[in-house]
Amino acid sequence: MKKINNNNLNYIEFMKKIFDNTTDGYISFVQFKNKGIRKVYNTLNKNILDTIQNKVLSNNYFDNTNIFFTPNTFFIPKRSSNTVRQFRCLYVDLDDHFNDKGIENKNEVIFQIYDDLINNHIIPEPTAIIDSGRGLHLYWKVKDAPYGALKTWSKLEEFLCKKLKPYGSDKAATDPARLLRLPDTINYKSSDKVFPCSVLTLNDNIYDMIDLRKNLLHYTYKKFVKKQTKSKKTNNLFKMYVNRISDLELLCRMRSFDMIGYRNTIIHYYGYLQYLINDETTATNNIDNFNQLYFNTPLKDSEINCISTCCKNIAKKHIKDSESGYNYKSETLIDILEISDSEQINLKSIISNELKTKRRNEKQRKQRRDKNGLTKKDKNKINKIKQIKFLMKKGLSNKYILKIINFSKTLFYRYIKLINIIKTNVSNHITYIKVIHMNTLTLITNIYNTKQSTNHTKLLTILN
C-alpha cells in the first residue's frame, strides 16, 4: 500500500510542481465569497507566488475560504475552454457524496485505488493527491501540450473518470477550464461544514499524453481514407431542445426535487437550452421559475443571475458556431446526472441508445400491422389458407391442390392439418400452436382467448 505522508507539503511545493519553467500563459484564481460575490485574479507563472501570497491569500487563515485555481493555462486573462494555452495536468475530482464503495476514510479510498487500479497498471500513479475538504483531487502532471491536444486530453480525462467512478469521480469536473481548490485553504459551506484543504502526496511523475493515449486507450494511427458518405436527414434540433427541457423538469419531479450534487449542472444546461429556443426575457423568467419550483434548496438570486448571463453568452456562441456550447450526447447526460433505467422509461429525449432502439422497433412494428394487427406476411398466410379451403370445397384432392398452389409440400400439409384441427377441436389447436410457432396461428389463439363465449365457428371468420 501507498504510505501517505503530507509532512512539509504545502501549496508552494504543489504549485512549483504543476507550474514549472515550461509554463506559458495565464493562471486564474477565483475566490467565492458570500452573496455570490467573487474575486478573480489572472497571473503569469513568473508572478504566481507573489499573486497568491499578496492578493489571493489573507494573513488570517480563516479568511482563506473557497479559493480555486485552474490547473491549465490560458493565452489571454480569461478562463474559457476556447482560450486554453497549455494542458498542464489531467485531474479527477472524487466527491464523498458520490462514493459507491461506502468508504468514508479518505486514506482508505487512496489505499483502495492503489490496490485496485494503480498496482494493477490500470491507471498511472497520480503526481499529487489533494484533500479537497469534502473529497479528493487527483492530478497527473503531463508534458505541456497546446490547445490542439484537446481531443486527446478529453479522451484521457474521460478514461480516468470512468475508471475512478466507483470511488466517487465527478463527470462534471472534467472540462479544460475547470476550477479546483487551492491547497492550504478552507472548504466552507456553512458554519457546521468547514473543512481544510491540504496536500496529501506529491512526487516527480510527469507523463506524456501520447504515451498515455497508446497505453491506456490503445490508440493506433490509421491511414486516413476519405469515404463517400450519404447525406443524412437533419435532426429537428428545436424539438430535441424542447424535449430535453421537459425531461429535466420531469427528472426533478421524479426525484422529489432532491437534486443535491446535480443542481448546478442541471440549471446550467436548462438555462442554455432556454436561451436557444426563447427570447432573452422569456428564457430568464423560465430559469428563475425553474430554480424556485424544482429544487428543495434553490440558488440565490445573485447566483442565478450569474448563471443566466453565462448561459446566454454560451448560447450566442453556439448559434454562431454549432461546435461550441453544451453539445451533450444523451449518454453523457445519463452519466453526469446518473439517470437510472427506470427513470429513462418516462423520459423522451435523454435516454440510452438501447431504449431508443427499442422504442423505434416498437413503432415500426405497429406501423407494419393493419387495424386487425396483421402484417403482410400474416395476410399472405391467411390468403393461402383461404385458397386451400376454396379448392377443398370444390372436391379436389390434396395432391391436385398442391399442383395448383405454388408453395412447398411441407407448408401445404401444415395448413391442411391446421384447418382440420380447428374444425374438430379448438383446444387441440391451442396445443398445436405451441409446436409450430406461427404468428398467424398465435393471432387466432389470442382471438379465441379473448372471446371465450363465442362458438368456434366464429373463430374461423378470419379465414373465410
Residue (of 157, 172, 166, 173) closest to 213 by Cα position: 157
Reduce the DSSP state of residue 352 to 3 states and report it: coil
Q: Which fold has domain 11-216?
A: Alpha-Beta Plaits (3.30.70)
| pLDDT in the model for residue 442 | 47
**Residue reference for cell 490547445:** 147
Contacts of 244 (CB under 8 A, 6+ apart): 269, 273, 333, 349, 350
Contacts of 294 (CB under 8 A, 6+ apart): 249, 252, 253, 257, 259
φ/ψ of 298, rounded to 5, equals -70, 160
CA atoms of 364 and 264, how far apart (whole Å): 38
Region of residue 11 (left: phi > 0; alpha: psi -120 to 50; beta: else): alpha
φ/ψ of 248, rounded to 5, equals -65, -40
Per-residue pLDDT tens listing for the chain (464 residues): 344 545 567 899 999 999 999 999 999 999 987 766 688 999 998 999 999 988 888 888 778 899 999 999 999 998 988 899 999 999 999 987 545 555 567 888 999 999 999 999 999 999 999 999 889 999 999 997 888 899 999 999 999 999 999 998 988 889 999 999 999 999 988 777 788 999 999 999 999 999 999 999 887 766 555 555 544 444 588 889 999 999 999 999 999 999 988 999 999 999 999 999 999 999 999 999 999 999 999 999 999 999 999 999 999 988 888 888 888 889 999 998 999 999 999 999 999 999 999 999 888 888 877 777 777 877 887 888 888 888 888 888 888 887 777 778 888 888 777 777 655 554 444 433 333 334 444 444 444 444 433 334 434 444 44
Reduce the DSSP state of residue 339 to 3 states and report it: coil
The pTM of the full predicted model, rounded to 2 decimals, is 0.59
CA atoms of 140 and 121, how far apart (whole Å): 15
Cα torsion through 127, 161, 154, 156, rounded to 10: 60
Under 8 Å between Cβ of 203 and 114: no
Q: Which three cell numbers stand for residue 198?
A: 491540504
Q: 141 pairs with which residues across the strands?
A: 89
Quick count: other Cβ atoms within 10 Å of Cβ 261? 14
φ/ψ of 450, rounded to 5, equals -85, -10
**Residue reference for cell 501549496:** 11
For residue 59, give the amino acid letter. N
Under 8 Å between Cβ of 257 and 295: yes
For residue 412, give the amino acid letter. F
The alpha-carbon radius of gyration of the chain (Å, integer) is 32
Q: At what angle do helices 330-337 and 353-368 cross, to 10 degrees?
A: 130
CA atoms of 29 and 183, how far apart (whole Å): 12
Q: 95 pairs with which residues across the strands?
A: 135
Q: Measured in Å, how far apart are the chain's first and last C-alpha atoms? A: 79
Q: Which three cell numbers stand for residue 143?
A: 508534458
Residue (of 311, 316, 313, 343) closest to 330 by Cα position: 343
For the chain, give every domain's residue range.
11-216, 237-361, 371-463
| pLDDT in the model for residue 446 | 47
Q: 68 pairs with which residues across the strands?
A: 30, 181
